Amino acid sequence: MARTRVLDRAELPTDTARLAHFLIGKMLVRGLSEGVAAGRIVETEAYVIGDPAGHAYRGITPRNRTLFLERGHAYVYLAYGISFMLNVSSEASGTGAGVLIRAIEPTDGIAIMERNRGTRRVRSLARGPGRLCAALEIDRRLDGIDLCRTGPLWLGSGDRAHGEIGQSKRIGITRAADSLLRFYIRGNRFVGKSAGMHCHGRSICQRKPV
């Protein structure tokens, strides 16, 4: 964390797929009353302009309006009434698209995450988008927050080199299912389930597409 700085919006690509790739290896930082909890982003999915699998596909609504903010804002929603999901708005203001943050490698505030998740299995703390939000106490109160500004939740520069970035189909969707819009660090043990595995139920998927 010592070398991590807040990402400037100008650094973020104005293209959803490129942003999903760019965010791999960057830091997600959560400020809490108990301290700071953070991790390296190791897995993302892009939901591009006009994507039938995306929440923006049918236009702007009160629920998804933050997905239409300028790139670098949080879009947080509740999936299946169970788990919150964190996405980053990814295009120009007024254009709906986003990047789902699927997993992080915990680096700071691990004890906080363990308490929030009720487990000491570090690998499982934020391996999956629902677990990630539970570990970092991310909910609808953070919907619309500017992630390019120091605050309760922000995006930071990568603090070390990461491995090779892989690309695959997205997980657990049926529309535009063949699009290669999932990005992850190859060989990283904090990356979630393989895109080649069938998703058998909501408790396993833990999310809907953005």
What pLDDT sits at residue 163? 83
Cα dihedral value 23, 125, 54, 96, nearest 10:
-50
What pLDDT sits at residue 159? 65
- Class of the CATH domain delimited by 9-205: alpha beta
Query: What is the C-alpha separation between 125 and 136, in angstroms, rounded?
Result: 9
How many Cα atoms are found within 13 Å in the side-chain-facing hemisphere of 24? 24
What token pair was written down for 98? Answer: 């986003």
Chain centroid to CA 133: 9
Query: What is the C-alpha separation between 66 and 36, in angstroms, rounded?
Result: 25
pTM recorded for the entire structure: 0.90
3-state DSSP assignment of residue 47: strand
Do residues 85 and 100 touch, judged by C-beta distance below 8 A? yes
Each residue's pLDDT expressed in tens, for the chain with a length of 210 residues: 768 999 999 999 999 999 999 999 999 999 999 999 999 999 999 999 999 889 998 999 999 999 999 999 999 999 989 999 999 999 999 999 999 999 999 999 999 999 999 999 999 999 999 999 999 999 999 999 999 999 999 999 986 667 899 999 999 888 988 899 999 999 999 998 764 433 322 222 334 444
CB proximity list for 62: less than 8 A, separation 6 or greater: none
Tokens 């309006």 -> residue = 65
**Which of 39, 44, 7 lies closest to 154 in space, CA to CA?**
7
Q: What is the CB neighbour count within 10 angstroms for residue 194? A: 10
